[in-house]
Amino acid sequence: MADTPHVVVLGAGFAGVGVAQKLRDAPVRLTIVDRNDYHTFQPLLYQVATDELEPTAVGSPIRDLLHRHDNVTFHKCSVDRVDLANKRVVVQGMPPIDYDYLVIALGSVVNFHGTPGAEQHAFPLYTMKDAMRLHDHILRTLETVDKDPLLVNDGALNFCVIGGGPTGTELAGALTELLHTELNADYPNLPIDQARVILYEHSPHLLAHFKPKLRDYAKQALEERGVEVHTGIGVMEVDASEIKLSNGEKIKTHTLVWAAGIGANPIADKLEVELVHGGRVPVGPDLQLPNFPGVFVVGDMASMTDAKTGQPLPGLGAVALQAGHHVGKSIAQLVAGKAATPFHYVDKGTMAQVGRGAAVVELPTGGTLTGHIAWLAWLGVHLSLLSSAEEKTSVFVDWGWNLLTHRRGKRILLSDDNTSTDNT
């Protein structure tokens, strides 16, 4: 075993799982490290926040994913730093891990762009914990207003979202649906008709990466569902019950969801490599770190450029999974004495869901879809992405079933029972 090359993968997101899948039969020892014992299906976190899915439907146990891999060891621990000079990784709670090949795929972190009060009061939506925290905050807010309806005048039922990318857009659509369907029946005494969902985007358009036709459709579909959409407006300041906008206006709210940008992962900061836009690590066309052969950076953490088109690649789950597959294959090639190859992303379509039965899809052919057909395509692509990450069917069957039957989560506040011995 000592002669078998040791591949260490940091992070079990789409990129890390992709690497593992392609190295399953390679003559290597593989060690995967993640601070969580689950893989997060990030594109659907907004559904956890809005009670469409339970956390366990979006988090798959990493040990389960690896049951059929004989050459893999998983460690649940946080990464402290990467020592590129000595080819080792310093982790918490166990000895450092030496590597022959390294894949750094730890994702980004949320970026508040220095906005005063945002870190304390806004609700990011990038990790499972973020989604669960937002979910519980929404239910807790409704319980509070139910007991004291005058809080409506303090903006307690104004739900604001900053960031009109896929996350913010999908969340705003799901939130308005949650408030005006299920919760309406749950809180008969609540003035739920006074609830507002307000989406801000500082640039002129929602879904900037989509074609104008799709942007317009998305905006219209959101507005039809009751979402107030404001483009060209940013958030300048946040406190517990009010936000200040870039146009000088102030809006009373107890909930500002922060879907406005990600920044450098602290591990990237410690790499002693000059980072580029958004705190990303620049990599070569084969996704290797320049000057460090055998070290790959993949996914949201990397500034990846398509080797064929020369275009920067977006931070999407589908891109990260394909890049992970590519790196897995490259490492197998390097182990076999061949060279790594440049990465080209095969676009299978970009899409966002605006509401149940309403989505926008940009096809790789250049065509577009909207409405129910787009929504079915959105469903299909996510189902196939889920099943690829899962290698098994139970979760995605559950998920498809929930979506199609409109069966929601249980709408209970598990984080609130915070006294284990006091039952009053």
CB of 60 to a second copy, least distance (A): 7
CB of 146 to a second copy, least distance (A): 7
Which residue type does 337 have? G
Q: Interface with a second copy includes 411 (CB under 8 A)?
A: yes
**Out of 21, 24, 61, 84, which residue is the one contacting a second copy (CB under 8 A)?**
61
Q: Interface with a second copy includes 133 (CB under 8 A)?
A: yes
**Out of 5, 21, 22, 55, which residue is the one contacting a second copy (CB under 8 A)?**
55
Which residue type does 404 have? L
CB of 293 to a second copy, least distance (A): 24
Helix H or strand E encompassing 80: strand 79-83
Q: Which stretch binds a second copy (CB under 8 A): 106-114, 167-175, 234-242, 383-391?
A: 106-114
Number of residues that bind a second copy (CB under 8 A): 65
Site string for a second copy, 139-158 (x = CB under 8 A): x---xx-xxx----------
Nearer to a second copy, 41 or 375 (CB): 41
Give yes or no for a contact between 345 and 38, defined as CB atoms under 8 angstroms apart: no
**Out of 108, 169, 255, 370, which residue is the one contacting a second copy (CB under 8 A)?**
108
Nearer to a second copy, 78 or 203 (CB): 78
Nearer to a second copy, 134 or 323 (CB): 134
Residue 349, sorted as left (phi over 0), alpha (psi -120 to 50) or beta, turns out to be left
Site string for a second copy, 161-200 (x = CB under 8 A): ------------------------xxx-x-----------
Pairing of strands 281-282, 29-34: unpaired
Q: Interface with a second copy includes 114 (CB under 8 A)?
A: no
Q: Interface with a second copy includes 406 (CB under 8 A)?
A: no
CB of 392 to a second copy, least distance (A): 12
Q: Give 168-227 as a 3 state SS string.
A: HHHHHHHHHHHHHCHHHHHCCCCCHHHCEEEEEECCCCCCCCCCHHHHHHHHHHHHHCCE
Site string for a second copy, 252-291 (x = CB under 8 A): -------------xxx------------------------
Q: How far is CA 231 from CA 113, 215, 238, 291, 331, in A?
A: 18, 12, 18, 43, 44
DSSP letter string, 264-327: --HHHHTT-S--BGGGBEE--TTSEETTEEEEEE-GGGEE-B-TTT-PBPP--HHHHHHHHHHH
Q: What does the block give as tokens for 180?
A: 């005006």
Nearer to a second copy, 208 or 397 (CB): 397
Residue 172 CB contacts under 8 Å (≥ 6 apart), including other chains:
161, 197, 199, 222, 227, 229
> In this structure, which long-range contacts are made by residues 280-284, counting pairs with CB atoms below 8 Å and at least 24 apart in sequence?
280/108, 281/104
Distance of alpha carbon 399 from alpha carbon 402, whole angstroms: 5
**Out of 22, 24, 75, 252, which residue is the one contacting a second copy (CB under 8 A)?**
75
Q: Interface with a second copy includes 416 (CB under 8 A)?
A: yes
Helix H or strand E encompassing 136: helix 128-147
Contact residues for a second copy, defined by CB under 8 A: 35-38, 54-56, 59-61, 63-64, 67, 73, 75-79, 93-94, 106-110, 119, 124, 126-130, 132-133, 139, 143-144, 146-148, 185-187, 189, 265-267, 394, 407, 409-414, 416-424
